Structure 1
Amino acid sequence: MSTAAAAAGRGLKSVSRAAFSWKPTGRAQQTLAAAVSRSGVGLHSGARATARLLPARAGEGRYFVVEEARVAAEAGNAEPQSPLCTTLRSGSGGARVRTVEHLLSAMEAFGVDNCRVEVSGGDEIPLLDGSAQEWVEAIRGAGLCAAEDIGGQKLEKLAPKIDEPVYLRKDDCFVAAFPSSQIHITYGIDFPKAPAIGCQWFNTFLDADIYSSKIAPARTFCIFEEVEKMRDAGLIKGGSLENAMVCR
Structure 2
Amino acid sequence: MDSLQHTIKRPVSFAGIGLHSGKLATLAIFPGEENSGIRFVRSDLPQAAPTPAFMDRIVDTRLATTIATEDEAMIATTEHLLAALFGMGIDNAVVELDGPEVPIMDGSAGPFVQVLKRVGRRRQNACKWMLKVNREISYVEGDSFVKILPYDGFKVTCEIDFNHHLIRRQIFSSELTPQKFAQEIAGARTFGFLDQVEKLRQSGLALGGSLENAVVIDDDGIVNAEGLRFVDEFARHKTLDVIGDLALLGFPLLGHVVTRKSGHGHHFSLMKQLAAQPERWDLIAYEKEGGNRVLEKVVLSTREAGDKLLSCLLPPSIALAGQTCFA
TM-score by length of 1: 0.82
Indicate which of 221, 230, 240 corresponds to 2:200. Answer: 230
Match of 1:53 in 2: 29
Q: Residues 109-188 of structure 1 correspond to what in structure 2 (within 5 A)?
A: 109-120=87-98, 122-147=99-124, 154-188=125-159
Query: Structure 1 residues 214 and 26, CA, compared in 2 at 3 Å: closer, same or farther?
Result: closer
Query: Structure 1 residues 171 and 39, CA, compared in 2 at 3 Å: closer, same or farther?
Result: farther
**Contact in 2 for aligned 1:69/1:95 (Cα 8 Å):** no
Shift of 1:95: 2.1
Identity of aligned residues (%): 36
Q: Secondary structure in 1 aligned to 2:85?
A: helix
Q: Secondary structure in 2 aligned to 1:187?
A: strand
**Contact in 2 for aligned 1:41/1:128 (Cα 8 Å):** yes
2:213 is the alignment partner of 1:243 = yes
Runs ≥4 residues deviating over 3 A: none
2:192 is the alignment partner of 1:216 = no
Match of 2:65 in 1: 86
Q: Secondary structure in 1 aligned to 2:205?
A: coil
Provide the aligned C-alpha RMSD in A.
Answer: 1.5
Question: Where does the alignment leave 5 or more consecutive residues of structure 1 unmatched?
Answer: 1-24, 148-153
> In structure 2, what residue type is equivalent to 1:240?
S
Question: Where does the alignment leave 5 or more consecutive residues of structure 2 unmatched?
Answer: 219-327
2:14 is the alignment partner of 1:38 = yes
Shift of 1:159: 1.2
Q: Secondary structure in 2 aligned to 1:155?
A: strand
2:53 is the alignment partner of 1:73 = yes
Shift of 1:26: 7.1
> In structure 1, what residue type is equivalent to 2:66?
T
Indicate which of 189, 196, 202 corresponds to 2:160. Answer: 189
Query: Structure 1 residues 69 and 44, CA, compared in 2 at 3 Å: closer, same or farther?
Result: farther
Q: Distance in 1 between matches of 2:102 and 2:86?
A: 16
> In structure 2, what residue type is equivalent to 1:113?
D
Q: Distance in 1 between matches of 2:111 and 2:63?
A: 20
Q: Secondary structure in 2 aligned to 1:49?
A: strand
